[in-house]
Structure 1
Amino acid sequence: MSDSRKQEYLSQILQMNPLEQPAEILNRRKLFLQPQSDSRLHDSMNSSYEERRAQILEQINSLRKHFWSFKTSVIEQRLNEIDIADFPELTFAIGRLKKIAALRESFSQLQHRCENCEEFYTQFSTLVISSPAEAERLRSVTFSPSPANTFDFELPRLEDHRELARIVQQEFPELHALEKDWINQLAATSKKSNAIAWMVQTLHTLIAITAGISVVLILYLCL
Structure 2
Amino acid sequence: MISERERDYLQTTLRMNPMFESGELLTLRRTLLQKERLDHEDAIANDDRRTQRDALRAHIRIIQRDFWKLPIDQLDQLIGALETKNFPELGPVANRLRTVAKCRVDFPKLGQTPGMDMGLFNAFKTIVVLPPGDAVRVKSQFARSIPDKKHLKAIQKGVQVVQREFPHLMELEKDWFTTLSNMTRVSATAQSNATGLESVKNALSSIFELPWYTWWIAAMVIKAILLTTQRP
State whether residues 114 and 120 of structure 1, in contact with CA within 8 Å, keep that contact through their aligned partners in structure 2: no
**1:3: which partner in 2?**
none
What do the CA deviations read for 1:111-158 (whole angstroms, capped 9, x no partner)? 1126863211110000111111101111222233x6xx7xx5461x32
What do the CA deviations read for 1:44-79 (whole angstroms, capped 9, x no partner)? x9x521121111101101110110011121111011
Rounded Cα–Cα distance in structure 2 between residues aligned with 1:13 and 1:91:
34
Alignment of 1:1-223 (within 5 A): 15-16=38-39, 24=45, 48-113=48-113, 117-144=117-144, 153=148, 155=150, 157-189=151-183, 192-193=184-185
**2:17: which partner in 1?**
none
Rounded Cα–Cα distance in structure 2 between residues aligned with 1:59 and 1:74:
13
Rounded Cα–Cα distance in structure 1 between residues aligned with 2:165 and 2:175:
16
Name the count of aligned residue pairs.
156
State whether residues 149 and 185 of structure 2, in contact with CA within 8 Å, keep that contact through their aligned partners in structure 1: no
- Which amino acid in structure 2 is aligned with residue 188 of structure 1? N
TM-score by length of 2: 0.58
- Which amino acid in structure 2 is aligned with residue 170 of structure 1? R
TM-score by length of 1: 0.60
Shift of 1:12: 8.7
State whether residues 169 and 176 of structure 1, in contact with CA within 8 Å, keep that contact through their aligned partners in structure 2: yes
Query: How large is the Cα RMSD of the aligned pairs?
Result: 3.2
- Which amino acid in structure 2 is aligned with residue 89 of structure 1? E
Shift of 1:82: 2.5
SS in 1 for 2:52: helix
Structure number with bigger Rg: 2
State whether residues 128 and 135 of structure 1, in contact with CA within 8 Å, keep that contact through their aligned partners in structure 2: yes
Rounded Cα–Cα distance in structure 2 between residues aligned with 1:16 and 1:183:
51
Shift of 1:179: 0.6
Shift of 1:106: 1.9
State whether residues 79 and 94 of structure 1, in contact with CA within 8 Å, keep that contact through their aligned partners in structure 2: yes
SS in 2 for 1:129: coil
Shift of 1:174: 0.9
SS in 2 for 1:104: coil
Task: Give the fraction of aligned pairs with identical amino acids, expressed as a percent.
Answer: 23
Gap runs ≥5 in structure 2:
1-33, 196-232
**1:208: which partner in 2?**
none
